[in-house]
Amino acid sequence: MQAIDSPSYCSQDSMQDVTVSELQSHSPPATSHDFELETYSFPTQRLKPMLDNSTKTPLVLVACGSFSPPTHLHTRMFEMAADYVKENTEYEVIGGFLSPVGDAYKKAGLAPAIHRVQMCKLAADYDSPHCLPGSRTSWIAVDPWEALHTEYQPTAIVLDHFDQELNKNGGIDNGQGDKIKIHISLLAGADLIQTMSSPGVWSTDDLEHILGNFGVFIIERADIDVDEAIIALDRWKSNIHVVHQLISNDISSTKIRMQVKRDMSVRYLISDRVIEYINEHGLYRS
């Protein structure tokens, strides 16, 4: 199933004969080279250059999080949201971004930002050697801007960053020679909306900015009552889109870290290339 028509994807057949050594040899090294805010440039390579339907509003989905490590659910939720958008809204998805949080977040189990950015790129099939030259293996990109900061960047500021970068030149070609503004929305799991509805966790100003200006696409989770959580956010209800999981998936980074620490298999739960990276750099062992 392909929710977005314009990018071309790696065929599954092309991955059948991939060996562990091949995966390892193509893993990008985790070095500080170019991992500096001074040399940062916004990644646009995986964005659609033009709308397919000029009557639609262009949409970019942004997932902020730890991604320590990124799982198949982190990337899968973009596809689920894209299907929802296509069936239920007047938007057209033109791209998606993983935005790993910076090291200042100080969350338990948080690997250094440089590693998490590299693992996100592997999870999103950056520089895959198993596709035809010039093909786009995924429409999901990784933006290191948030991770590059030494100070914590609130979600509202991160979304403002995407809004500025994506619309500073007028937005996207609508297919008729005119530029149209790109709308940015947050993409997150149901645990986010639960925290947003809890008193004192988020400031009213941040909720107004995020939910009022950008909106959010929430991937449901079996253990969270999303409808109940939304009651406290009723004033922004029209900007909160709940995406139901037709095929349940409760993979979490916390569970992956526990498996790795216990020296248990995490294959088919996260990307093989991410597994190789974790092993190469000895992550999540202690």
Tell me if 69 is assigned to some domain.
Answer: yes
Judge whether 7 and 140 are in contact, CB under 8 Å. no
157 backbone φψ class: left, alpha, beta (φ>0; ψ -120 to 50): alpha
CATH number, position 260 = 3.40.50.620
Q: Which residues contact 254 (CB under 8 A, 6 or more apart)?
A: 109
- Residue 8 pLDDT: 35
Which residues span the domain enclosing 253?
A: 61-281
The pLDDT score that the predictor gives to residue 191 is 87
Domain membership flag for residue 33: no
Asked if residue 276 is part of any domain, the answer here is yes
Q: Is residue 189 situated within a structural domain?
A: yes
Asked if residue 71 belongs to a domain, the reply is yes
Residue 111: both structure tokens together: 């690997």
43 within a domain of the structure (yes/no): no
| Average pLDDT per consecutive 10 residues, the chain (286 residues; last block may be shorter) | 37 34 42 79 95 97 96 95 97 97 91 96 76 56 97 96 97 94 96 89 94 96 86 93 90 95 96 96 94
Whether 94 contacts 44, CB under 8 Å? no
- CA separation for the pair 171, 160 (Å, rounded): 14
Amino acid at 17: D
Q: Is there a domain that residue 140 lies in? A: yes
Confidence at residue 128, expressed as pLDDT on a 0 to 100 scale: 57
pLDDT score of 7:
38
The reported pLDDT for the residue numbered 13 is 35
Q: Say how many domains are in the chain.
A: 1
In this prediction, residue 254 carries a pLDDT of: 93
Examine residue 6 and state whether it is found in any structural domain, yes or no: no
